């Protein structure tokens, strides 16, 4: 296991505190996703655990003090893997290792069963007390959209539809809850029996529809799926206003994913146009295990697909209808 010299003492301290030994049976590097953390599957006493070491520069949005607290609370609610050790000052965490049997996009049962499971998970997550506030979600997305627009990756004006959507969403009464804020398929693990929520770097108090929209866009995009997700979450049939609000935040979620992926490939890839594969086709390929998000070009194609979807929806009559009903 290769750790930077300045982090070796912190890792040794974590191992001694957790296992009373620094000796490992083995260590296998894993992908840390887009967070920048270094992650290993380690074995101690024949049991697998996850060792995570932060490597990114710290700031308001990359704050282990906040994210570790959120993950501990989620683990106590049985939504995230058990936390064995966490030192936010050192940026070192040891967790139970969850062996993902398949991508959650390859859920072994009927899709409606997955939607119900995710609806219950969000209901439990949002009932947790204790996630700290950070920023107003829409303000934070304003900043992110600005970065994406200035990145040079997409043509000037590509994110113009966001301004109209932002105005409408700011008229809504906020419904802040303990929110994950980044429920993309890579942050959902299926161990063959249940789904686990991982990677809590973006967690803080935000509107409940941020998480609901992220799940709906990937797993419950059709009207029946939407209705089932909301009925499971609320424990009753959703009102017209609630369904309209979900529609609006689904566009917010598309804009977020477009911006985060476009900012992430700045300097690595650039779009010759805003065209490319459709979002449904990309999700289908991801469900088949295609490594589309492992390259800058693949991540850019995904961001552009999200951006086109939002732009098309915001240009449709459904936008004005949802805005009128929700507000």
The string of DSSP letters for 169-219 reads: HTTSPP-EEEE-----GGGEEE-SS-EEE---TT-EEEEHHHHHHHHHHHH
**Residue 213 CA: distances (Å) to CA of 191, 229, 271:** 24, 10, 26
Q: What is the CATH number of the domain that holds 62?
A: 3.30.200.20
Are 121 and 69 part of one and the same domain? Answer: no
For 6, the 3-state DSSP assignment is helix
Domain boundary among 70, 96, 122: 96
**Structure token pair of residue 185:** 């398929």
**Structure token pair of residue 83:** 């936390």
CB 27: neighbour CB atoms within 10 A? 15
Are 111 and 48 part of one and the same domain? Answer: no
Are 220 and 199 part of one and the same domain? Answer: yes
CA–CA gap between residue 133 and residue 250 (Å, rounded): 22
Stated pTM of the model: 0.93
Of 198, 219, 181, the closest CA to residue 79 belongs to 198
pLDDT by 10s per residue, the chain, length 327: 677 888 999 999 999 999 999 999 999 998 755 556 899 999 999 999 999 999 877 665 679 999 999 999 999 999 999 999 999 999 999 999 998 877 787 787 899 999 999 999 999 999 999 999 999 999 999 999 999 999 999 999 999 999 999 999 999 999 999 999 999 888 999 998 899 999 999 999 999 999 999 999 999 999 999 999 999 999 999 999 999 999 999 999 999 999 999 999 999 988 878 899 999 999 888 877 788 888 999 999 999 999 999 999 999 999 999 999 998
Domain that holds residue 301: 102-326
Are 126 and 160 part of one and the same domain? Answer: yes
Q: What is the CATH number of the domain that holds 251?
A: 3.90.1200.10
């Amino acid at each position: 296991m290769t750790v930077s010299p300045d982090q070796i003492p912190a890792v040794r301290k974590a191992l001694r505190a957790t296992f009373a030994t620094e000796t490992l049976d083995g260590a296998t590097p894993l992908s840390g996703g887009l967070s920048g953390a270094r992650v290993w599957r380690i074995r101690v006493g024949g049991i697998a655990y996850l060792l995570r070491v932060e490597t990114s520069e710290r700031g308001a949005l990359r704050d282990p003090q906040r994210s570790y607290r959120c993950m501990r609370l989620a683990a106590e609610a049985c939504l995230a893997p058990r936390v064995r050790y966490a030192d936010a000052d050192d940026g070192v965490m040891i967790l139970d290792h969850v062996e993902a049997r398949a991508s959650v996009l390859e859920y072994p049962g009927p899709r409606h069963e997955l939607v119900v499971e995710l609806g219950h998970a969000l209901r439990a997550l949002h009932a947790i007390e204790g996630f700290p506030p950070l920023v107003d979600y829409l303000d934070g997305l304003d900043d992110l959209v600005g970065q994406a627009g200035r990145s040079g990756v997409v043509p000037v004006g590509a994110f113009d539809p966001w301004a109209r959507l932002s105005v409408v969403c700011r008229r809504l009464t906020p419904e802040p809850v303990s929110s994950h804020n980044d429920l993309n398929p890579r942050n959902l693990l299926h161990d063959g029996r249940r789904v686990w929520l991982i990677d809590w770097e973006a967690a803080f108090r935000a509107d409940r529809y941020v998480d609901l929209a992220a799940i709906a866009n990937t797993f419950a995009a059709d009207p029946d799926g939407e209705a089932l997700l909301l009925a499971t979450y609320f424990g009753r049939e959703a009102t017209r206003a609630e369904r309209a609000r979900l529609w609006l935040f689904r566009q917010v979620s598309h804009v977020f994913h477009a911006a985060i992926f476009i900012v992430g490939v700045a300097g690595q890839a650039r779009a010759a146009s805003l065209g490319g594969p459709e979002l449904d086709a990309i999700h289908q390929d991801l469900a088949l295990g295609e490594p589309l998000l492992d390259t800058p070009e693949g991540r850019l194609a995904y961001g552009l697909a999200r951006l086109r979807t939002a732009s098309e929806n915001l240009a449709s009559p459904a936008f004005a209808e949802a805005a009128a009903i929700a507000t």
